[in-house]
Structure 1
Amino acid sequence: MAAAGAVAALAWGEWVNRRWSRALVANGGGAAAAVVVLGYKNPRATANFVNRWRVRAGIRSIGTAAEHETCVIFSGGAVGSSVPEARLMAGYARSVLGFEGRVLLEERSATTWENIANVLPLLESADRIKIVSQPAHALKARAYLRRQRPDLAERLVRAEDYRPGEWLIVKPLLALHGVWTLRGLTADERKPPRRTAG
């Protein structure tokens, strides 16, 4: 019984995170893309585990074919320390991962709503917009973009912040936290779009 319960919890965590990663996105076209990586509270002078993972997920969201057309936007203010989360993430991307692509920093935000509000001017020229974080948090940010700028929200496409088996053991906990985090979203903001045949 215990083993069956554990398997069920893991399967549920996997399913709900996958579902969130596909909500409020479309199959947008166009060359120019913006990848927005949302910061996480960081009390130290170097990027913590969560921010390091988000940077890696952001870079893999670029896609090799579109790398020269993509701008990575790191967003996050000095919430946990005197150094903005955006700067810590950018430093990790450059110095540890060797990322040499185009980077912009948004260093004032203290909340997810502010993350979106403050990156809006940086998204105007993007044909495709990808928001990177844990799936529930990224979905919340996409919903906020739709509320603040529905025209830009039409350009949202999937990021590579969900992969089967990644974070497997903690996905049920992330899912529980996500259910609580997303309680303010409407039903149509939480579910993936219906796929039409043809």
Structure 2
Amino acid sequence: MRRRTVLAVAGAAALAWGEWLNWRWSRTLVGRTAESGGASEAVVVLGFRNPQATANFINRWRVRAGIRSIAAESARDTRVIFSGGAAGGGATEAQLMADYAKSVLGFDGTVLLEDRSRTTWENITNVAPLLEGVARIRIASQPAHALKARAYLRRQRPDLAERLVRADDYRPGEWMIVKPLLALYGLRTLRGLTAEERKIELSSAAVTEWFPRVGRP
């Protein structure tokens, strides 16, 4: 019985740790650009290697995360940019994600394709010209990957990085069972970030979200 208790506590701690890290990464390197109003925005959805003829599970989730990131008041002024080249000789990740967004999710907004990139650095290099003129920029992917992309935008185009706001790519309980694994993988992929790039500015609202007040009505 004691062993079961220890395993249960360890499992709960691992799940909480995975949630915390993914929550934290989703709020790192995002600016203070106003979230309200009708100003234009861009949502960048980063592709994952996709050798098959349709969008794979990870790319389907990233598309959904990107679409749900669109601010309701700015929907008509939002461009969704799907970014990712081809794995082999098939269709590009960008095209597969766009097809899924339109044919399955019924998305009928403005779509732009960036279909040459093979790395996250290239994703940012190639989408940067498509981000000119928008007031807000959201990057949608798994939280660690999106943070890496925001760090790259900050290095390449600090002027555009000032317009970064959160994407809706973290939700409590979503991917919960695998979040510890995503956290471990994220720690590995984020080793190249500087201490400054890992810094998170926690507002009182963000702290309240993670640690809700006891007795809240």
Answer yes or no: same fold by TM over 0.5: yes
- The residue type paired with residue 159 of structure 1 is A
Question: What is the CA distance between 1:42 and its match in structure 2?
Answer: 0.5
Instruction: Report the Cα distance in structure 2 between the residues aligned to 1:10 and 1:196, rounded to whole angstroms.
Output: 24
Identity of aligned residues (%): 71
- The residue type paired with residue 152 of structure 1 is L
Of 75-84 and 161-170, the range deviating more from structure 2? 75-84
TM-score normalized by the length of structure 2: 0.88
Q: 1:107 aligns with which of 106, 112, 115?
A: 115
Aligned equivalent of 1:73: 81
Would you say the 8 A contact 1:28–1:157 is kept in 2? yes
Runs of 4 or more off by more than 6 Å in structure 1?
Answer: none
Instruction: Report the Cα distance in structure 2 between the residues aligned to 1:85 and 1:110, rounded to whole angstroms.
Output: 10
Would you say the 8 A contact 1:52–1:89 is kept in 2? yes
Q: Which runs of 5+ in 2 are unaligned?
A: 1-5, 206-217
Aligned equivalent of 2:93: 85
1:48 matches 2:56: yes
Q: 1:153 aligns with which of 161, 184, 190?
A: 161
- Match of 2:106, SS state, is coil
Instruction: Report the Cα distance in structure 2 between the residues aligned to 1:53 and 1:102, rounded to whole angstroms.
Output: 19
- Match of 1:169, SS state, is helix
Deviations 1:129-177 (A, max 9, x none): 0000000000000000000000100000000000000000000000000
Would you say the 8 A contact 1:17–1:175 is kept in 2? yes
- Match of 1:170, SS state, is helix
Would you say the 8 A contact 1:28–1:128 is kept in 2? yes
Root-mean-square deviation over aligned CA pairs: 1.3
Instruction: Report the Cα distance in structure 1 between the residues aligned to 2:72 and 2:161, rounded to whole angstroms.
Output: 24
Question: What is the CA distance between 1:17 and its match in structure 2?
Answer: 0.2
Q: Which runs of 5+ in 1 are unaligned?
A: none
Question: What is the CA distance between 1:196 and its match in structure 2?
Answer: 7.9
Aligned equivalent of 1:177: 185
- Match of 1:130, SS state, is strand
Would you say the 8 A contact 1:40–1:50 is kept in 2? yes
Aligned equivalent of 1:136: 144
- Match of 2:42, SS state, is strand
- Which of these two proteins has the greater Rg computed from alpha carbons? 2
TM-score normalized by the length of structure 1: 0.96
Instruction: Report the Cα distance in structure 2 between the residues aligned to 1:139 and 1:145, rounded to whole angstroms.
Output: 10
Question: What is the CA distance between 1:194 and its match in structure 2?
Answer: 4.4
Aligned equivalent of 2:212: none
Q: What is the aligned length?
A: 197
Instruction: Report the Cα distance in structure 2 between the residues aligned to 1:166 and 1:124, rounded to whole angstroms.
Output: 32
1:33 matches 2:38: no
Instruction: Report the Cα distance in structure 1 between the residues aligned to 2:175 and 2:89, rounded to whole angstroms.
Output: 26
1:24 matches 2:29: yes
Question: What is the CA distance between 1:80 and its match in structure 2?
Answer: 5.1
Question: What is the CA distance between 1:60 and its match in structure 2?
Answer: 0.2
Aligned equivalent of 1:192: 200
Would you say the 8 A contact 1:130–1:158 is kept in 2? yes
- Match of 2:51, SS state, is coil
Q: 2:11 aligns with which of 6, 19, 23?
A: 6
